[in-house]
Amino acid sequence: MRSKLGKFGSAVALSLLVAACTDTSQPAAPRPIGLSPSFTPTELAAWFEQASPVALELEGTVFADHDEAAGQITIGVEDAGAMLRLQPALARLGIPEDAVAFRVTPPIYQMATLRDSWRPTIGGIQIHFGNYLCTMGFNADDGAERSFITNSHCTNRQGGVEGTLYYQPTSTVDPTVIATEVEDPTYFKGGACSRGKACRYSDASRALYSASVASTRGVVAATSGPNNGSLTVTGTFTITSQDNTTQNFPVGTTVSKVGRTTGWTQGNTTSSCVNVNVSGSNITQLCQTLVQNPQGAVVVGGGDSGSQVFRITSGSSVELVGILWGGSSDNKLFVFSPLRNIQQELGTLVATQ
């Protein structure tokens, strides 16, 4: 399976916080780890077999452990409330209070990446069509139609609607058709387009979601970047605004993208509203924006096509400014179509949460 990039080519850190949970309204507090009286291994093993299933079925329990080294049953809980719910249940089993120690522990999540299955879907994750992989740019509503935006070249035929079917993360992992291409304007000739070329102002298409597939508008996956190559999702960005008017971004404007190949990368605009020939084709994309990282970091890779481009406004809040479609052969420059151009060709899109 190949990745397409133009025609040029929640996890939580498991920091275990050891603490004794106390509640001033309770006369008895659990003993800290390492201070239990002596119990035989046979007794502890039997109590653990009883305690583990009971503890894990209660909300707020993180783990249960027969800690042979400490001579205790150790139960990880999210907070004191979870401990207070557990204590009576364990007492009913006849397990001595001194045989159990509680440890405050953050909840543990699966380590999902941009290439894993996501339901509901969000921006920045992998999509599959035909024999290729691209990136889901952003979810948006076109009137009452729940949709996502990706590249025109991330369809079975660039320009024109042929009903491309999309899967996430791939059709082999999940054969569900998540969406179908419904809008992809044909490329034009003449006018502002050079002789022998076919042109558009955006490399963008729209896919309509299947009714059974959940999606979340205004959310983009966030990895532990920028520019470190991580694909592990550690949080999300929230699209709180969208720039529907800018074609000429001031040189030096800092923008980011999240794509299935290089994750979260960031750079500065170097040229705006430039006409770009797509290598190996007769296509010219008109009025596009070029981005590079000042330190020369890699900002794009094959399969990042379709990535949303945004400005961080505050914390995890971002402003949507466009969609990435290509880059340089050394992966240190990417090109994006401004959101103004996308809506000029696809119509009004609501992408904010």
Which domains are present in the chain?
A: 2-9+112-346 (2.40.10.10), 41-104 (3.30.300.50)
Angstrom distances, CA of residue 197 to CA of 6, 184, 194, 276 = 16, 18, 5, 11
pLDDT for the residue numbered 26 = 44
pLDDT for the residue numbered 23 = 36
Q: Using alpha carbons, select from 288, 226, 296, 234 the residue that is nearest to residue 258.
A: 226
What are φ and ψ of residue 63, in 5° steps?
-155, 165
Evaluate if residue 9 carries a pLDDT over 60.
no
163-181: per-residue pLDDT in tens?
Answer: 999 999 999 999 999 999 9
Is the bond preceding residue 120 a cis peptide, omega within 30 degrees? yes
User: CA 88, 94, 99, 105 torsion: positive or negative?
Assistant: negative
Q: Give the β-pairing of 215-223 and 121-123.
A: parallel
Torsion of CA 159, 160, 163, 166, to 10 degrees: 20
Are residues 83 and 77 in contact, defined by beta-carbon separation less than 8 angstroms?
yes
275-332: per-residue pLDDT in tens?
Answer: 999 999 999 999 999 999 999 999 999 999 999 999 999 999 999 999 999 999 999 9
Q: Give the β-pairing of 132-135 and 2-3.
A: parallel
- Judged by average pLDDT, the poorest of 36-50, 62-76, 182-196, 308-322 is 36-50
Q: 126 is written with which tokens?
A: 């992998």
Can you list the pairs that 155-160 forms with residues at least 24 positions away whose Cβ atoms lie under 8 Å? 155/129, 155/181, 155/184, 155/205, 156/129, 156/130, 156/181, 158/184, 158/187, 158/283, 159/184, 159/185, 159/186, 159/187, 159/198, 159/200, 160/184, 160/185, 160/186
323-350: per-residue pLDDT in tens?
Answer: 999 999 999 999 999 999 999 999 999 9
pLDDT confidence band for 109 (50 / 70 / 90): low
Residue 179: exposure state from Cβ atoms within 10 A (0-12, 13-18, ≥19): buried
Evaluate if residue 13 carries a pLDDT over 70.
no
- Judged by average pLDDT, the poorest of 7-21, 168-182, 207-221 is 7-21
SS3 114: coil
pLDDT for the residue numbered 37 = 54
Sheet with 100-104, edge to edge strand ranges: 61-67, 72-77, 100-104
pLDDT for the residue numbered 156 = 98
pLDDT confidence band for 8 (50 / 70 / 90): very low
pLDDT for the residue numbered 250 = 96
Is the bond preceding residue 226 a cis peptide, omega within 30 degrees? yes
Evaluate if residue 259 carries a pLDDT over 90.
yes
Give the angle 272-278-281 at the CA atoms, nearest 5°. 160
Size of the chain, expressed as the number of residues it contains:
353
16-57: per-residue pLDDT in tens?
Answer: 222 222 333 443 444 444 444 579 999 999 999 999 999 999
pLDDT confidence band for 5 (50 / 70 / 90): low
Gyration radius from the chain CA atoms: 26
Is the bond preceding residue 185 a cis peptide, omega within 30 degrees? no
pLDDT for the residue numbered 34 = 41
pLDDT for the residue numbered 110 = 58
Residue 222: exposure state from Cβ atoms within 10 A (0-12, 13-18, ≥19): buried
Q: Using alpha carbons, select from 62, 107, 112, 105 the residue that is nearest to residue 234.
A: 112
Angle between helices 41-56 and 80-92 (to 10 degrees): 120
| Tokens 């090109």, residue located | 335
122-161: per-residue pLDDT in tens?
Answer: 999 999 999 999 999 999 999 999 999 999 999 999 999 9
pLDDT for the residue numbered 38 = 79
